[in-house]
């Protein structure tokens, strides 16, 4: 999203001084808490350790498919836990990586390991797979292999390309309707928020602490709207614009991702000695689009056509730690006509496996159900050609990712009004150049949550900024989780931290040691 001067003026001042027909289910559109409190249930925790997270435990919890029908069909949520070890116990800290469709089981271990030991020891860090996701049941997979290569070119420059892409998204929507007709009306953010309260009750906690990224920030805000008296502390990192759910949010992303793609080209230009792609970012950008045209004619390794190329370079808009890998693949093709590195980059960052099929199915189910999307395809065509004229990188790829919502079998609900003056201080973190959740969305959430505090990473472009190596941001996070302390400037922005330097070419980093934050960004995934 293009940031306005008004949106950034608060930061500038602070720096200077220092975003077919399944019937709608009765009750699914409820914006109120369940009529009766959840009955506490006993959770049976079992060890489910991994080499990286040896203290991880797992359990499952049954919740109603429809929270307005407590004794109706039940579904199962998969939970994980890293238990507190300190005498001081501050309760459960639920963590969520976003999505929608992201699995949170491993995230409990990652957060517990990344927080300062003194802070992590005071909490039971709780991960969970939201309804429909991962090890929760039923887990949705509408159309296995939907993203298998090679897909039609995403930019519909001919009627045949537009028709081919429309056929794909319509087939996906029909497959979801056929397989999950009775479930889809309940795969939405409000239902997931009510699940969180069921988890809270099962944990025996009067109030919950919550720490989430990306879409998880919106889920947290909806939970807080429904259950304001059950929120103890809440951290929202890389914040969704709660006023743009979801069609408008995706249009805003297109501009932001195009700008972030240009930042990648500028970085490549600075490292001409490593990549030999030139010193002019505009000319390097032209070479990338020439690469795109070449794989449109002949897909690299019979796997990477133009849509897959976009899928491969999209992650660079989320996390600059991927830039060296992406630059190497680009240089190998552009300078030596070698396709192997590009195919490997696609397989590492862009290819979709079974977990990705599940995640995308839940993503579509939640986004298409949460809000009303345009059902007139002419509206999509007109809006997105206009955006593409200014931001060509991901516009049409993003269209086809979200286009099942134009044909979705369930009607869209009304987005939740998250305005809230009944909460304790909520701590927000946001990078100024985040592409997935543009900066203005964090400003709007800050205004909607009356007593919230906003900490900004000035000049940062990554999506997910805490627990990624920025000591300044992490100090604010630790103080808040430890003592409840929050910064306060009295202005639009409460604190500013300088962004970390961009990465260096991998050949300048002997041993290829992964940057801190790589595990986190792997958990957050893309399209969040």
| Tens place of pLDDT per residue across the chain (528 aa) | 233 333 344 444 444 444 334 433 333 444 555 555 555 568 999 999 999 999 999 999 999 999 999 999 999 999 999 999 999 999 999 999 999 999 999 999 999 999 999 999 999 999 999 999 999 999 999 999 999 999 999 999 999 999 999 999 999 999 999 999 999 999 999 999 999 999 999 999 999 999 999 999 999 999 999 999 999 999 999 999 999 999 999 999 999 999 999 999 999 999 999 999 999 999 999 999 999 999 999 999 999 999 999 999 999 999 999 999 999 999 999 999 999 999 999 999 999 999 999 999 999 999 999 999 999 999 999 999 999 999 999 999 999 999 999 999 999 999 999 999 999 999 999 999 999 999 999 999 999 999 999 999 999 999 999 999 999 999 999 999 999 999 998 789 999 999 999 999 986 443 444 566 777 788 887 665
Task: Please tell me the predicted confidence (pLDDT) of residue 39.
Answer: 58
**Catalytic-labelled residue, pool 463, 468, 474, 528:** 463
Task: Please tell me the predicted confidence (pLDDT) of residue 19.
Answer: 31
**Catalytic-labelled residue, pool 214, 452, 468, 528:** 214
Phi-psi region of 336 (alpha: psi -120 to 50; beta: other; left: phi over 0): alpha
Do 230 and 200 contact (CB within 8 A), yes or no? Answer: yes
434 is catalytic: yes
Question: Phi/psi at 196 (nearest 5 deg)?
Answer: -60, -40
528 is catalytic: no
> Cα–Cα distance between 210 and 203 in angstroms, integer?
14
Please spell the DSSP secondary structure of 440-509, one letter per residue.
HHHHHHHHHBTT-EEEEEET---S--TTSS-HHHHHHHHHHHHH------SSS-SEEEEPPPPP--GGGS
Do 46 and 64 contact (CB within 8 A), yes or no? Answer: no
**Catalytic-labelled residue, pool 434, 446, 452, 528:** 434
4 is catalytic: no
Look at the block and give the residue holding tokens 């992406």: 326
Task: Please tell me the predicted confidence (pLDDT) of residue 40.
Answer: 59
Residue 209, H or E segment: strand 208-214
Do 231 and 116 contact (CB within 8 A), yes or no? Answer: no
Task: Report, in angstroms and rounded to the nearest whole number, the Rg of the chain calculated over CA atoms.
Answer: 22
Provide the whole-model pTM. 0.92
């Amino acid at each position: 999203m293009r940031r306005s001067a008004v949106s950034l003026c608060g930061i500038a001042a602070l720096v200077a001084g220092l975003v077919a027909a399944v019937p709608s289910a009765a009750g699914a559109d409820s914006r109120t808490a369940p009529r009766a409190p959840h009955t506490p249930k006993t959770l049976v925790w079992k060890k489910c350790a991994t080499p990286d997270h040896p203290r991880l435990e797992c359990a499952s919890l049954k919740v109603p498919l429809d929270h307005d029908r407590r004794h109706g069909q039940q579904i199962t949520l998969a939970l994980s836990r890293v238990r507190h070890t300190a005498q001081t116990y501050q309760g459960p800290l639920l963590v969520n990586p976003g999505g929608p469709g992201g699995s949170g089981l491993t995230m409990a271990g990652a957060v517990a390991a990344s927080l300062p030991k003194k802070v992590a020891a005071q909490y039971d860090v709780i991960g969970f797979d939201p309804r429909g996701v991962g090890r929760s049941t039923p887990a949705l997979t509408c159309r296995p292999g939907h993203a298998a290569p090679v897909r039609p070119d995403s930019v519909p420059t001919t009627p045949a390309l537009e028709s081919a892409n429309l056929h794909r998204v319509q087939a996906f929507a029909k497959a979801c309707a056929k397989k999950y007709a009775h479930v889809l009306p309940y795969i939405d953010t409000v239902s997931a928020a009510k699940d969180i309260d069921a988890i809270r009750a099962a944990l025996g906690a009067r109030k919950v602490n919550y720490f989430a990224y990306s879409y998880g920030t919106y889920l947290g805000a909806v939970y807080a709207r429904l259950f304001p008296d059950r929120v103890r502390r809440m951290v929202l990192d890389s914040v969704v614009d709660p006023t743009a759910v979801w069609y408008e949010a995706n249009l805003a992303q297109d501009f932001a991702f195009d700008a972030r793609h240009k930042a990648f080209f500028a970085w490549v230009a600075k490292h001409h000695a490593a990549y030999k792609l030139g010193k002019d970012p505009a000319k390097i950008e032209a070479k990338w689009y020439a690469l795109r045209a070449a794989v449109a004619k002949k897909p690299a390794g019979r796997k990477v056509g133009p849509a897959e190329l976009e899928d491969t370079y999209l992650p660079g808009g989320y996390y600059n730690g991927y830039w060296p890998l992406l630059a190497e693949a680009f240089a190998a093709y552009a300078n030596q006509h070698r396709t192997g590195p590009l195919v490997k980059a696609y397989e590492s960052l862009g290819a979709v496996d079974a977990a990705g099929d599940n995640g995308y199915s839940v993503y579509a189910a939640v986004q298409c159900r949460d809000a009303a999307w345009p059902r007139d395809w002419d509206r999509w065509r007109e809006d997105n050609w206009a955006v593409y004229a200014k931001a060509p990188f991901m516009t049409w790829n993003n269209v086809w990712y979200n286009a099942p919502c134009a044909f979705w079998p369930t009607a869209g609900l009304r987005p939740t009004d998250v305005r809230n003056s009944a909460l304790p201080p909520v701590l927000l973190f946001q990078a100024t150049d985040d592409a997935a959740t543009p900066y203005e969305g964090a400003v709007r959430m800050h205004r909607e949550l009356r007593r919230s505090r906003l900490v900004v990473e000035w000049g940062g472009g990554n999506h997910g900024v805490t627990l990624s190596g920025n000591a300044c941001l992490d100090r604010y996070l630790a103080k808040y989780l430890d003592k409840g302390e929050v910064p306060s400037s009295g202005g639009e922005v409460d604190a500013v931290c300088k962004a970390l330097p961009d990465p260096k070419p991998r050949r300048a980093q002997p041993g290829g040691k992964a940057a801190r934050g790589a595990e986190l960004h792997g958990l957050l995934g893309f399209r969040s």
